[in-house]
Amino acid sequence: MIIALGVPGAGKTTVLKGLKGDYEVVNYGDLMLEVEKREFGIKDRDEMRKLPIEKQKLAQKMVAETLAKMDGKVILDTHCSVATPSGYYPGLPFEFLKLWNVDALVYVTASVEELKERRQNDPTRKRDVDDIALHDEMNKAYLAAYSAFTGAPAVVIYNRNGKLEEAVAKFQSLLK
């Protein structure tokens, strides 16, 4: 499994859409949203990170167990950490990482100004625009911990404005 990570709006999903090959892209947020709609009655993606932490953790664990049963070449689109009203919490607790076979951890990022602009210009979402720099910094700390725990390499890809093709090409070069 290859795991794609980054702060919201870094462009993970956009970069993954540009890849060619026989990898199946699985979005952790899509699977959690299904669980949280069913179990907790939420309506949209931007309510997810504001649910009480215990509810988020329950949905997160249910998804981790589903993923452990998946075979084949998978790219997981997810988060190093989730910024909640109760603080940052880990997207990939070690208890989940030990269930999966992780080949690489790929962190997609851009400058704080680019990230802020993308969030403000995304009409489909209610995105927060504060503390982007701190979240990016926290994520890199989580990334190093995940890499040390799994032994998988950590790769950082810059997805700069107007340079999407370069980010896609760099990610593509990591696929076997």
Candidates 73-81, 97-105, 133-141, 142-150: pick the segment binding ligand AP5 (CB under 6 A).
73-81
Candidates 23-31, 99-107, 132-140, 141-149: pick the segment binding ligand AP5 (CB under 6 A).
23-31
End-to-end C-alpha distance for the chain, whole angstroms: 11
118 is a site residue for ligand AP5 (CB under 6 A) = yes
Element (H, E) at 53: helix 53-68
| The residue type at 63 | V
Q: Which of 77, 104, 136, 171 binds ligand AP5 (CB under 6 A)?
A: 77
Nearest to ligand AP5 of 37, 45 (CB atom): 45
* Cβ count near 126 (within 10 Å): 10
135 is a site residue for ligand AP5 (CB under 6 A) = no
29 is a site residue for ligand AP5 (CB under 6 A) = yes
SS3 of residue 27 by DSSP: strand
Contacts of 154 (CB under 8 A, 6+ apart): 104, 105, 107, 143, 144, 146, 147
| The residue type at 84 | T
* Cβ count near 64 (within 10 Å): 18
12 is a site residue for ligand AP5 (CB under 6 A) = yes
* Residues between 45 and 64 that touch ligand AP5 (CB under 6 A): 45, 48-49, 56, 60
CB of 89 to ligand AP5, least distance (A): 7
* CA 144/CA 110 separation, integer angstroms: 18
Q: Which of 2, 35, 42, 79 binds ligand AP5 (CB under 6 A)?
A: 79
162 is a site residue for ligand AP5 (CB under 6 A) = yes
For the chain, state the CA radius of gyration. Answer: 15
Binding site for ligand AP5 (CB under 6 A): 6, 8-14, 27-29, 32, 45, 48-49, 56, 60, 77-79, 82, 91-92, 118, 122, 159, 161-164
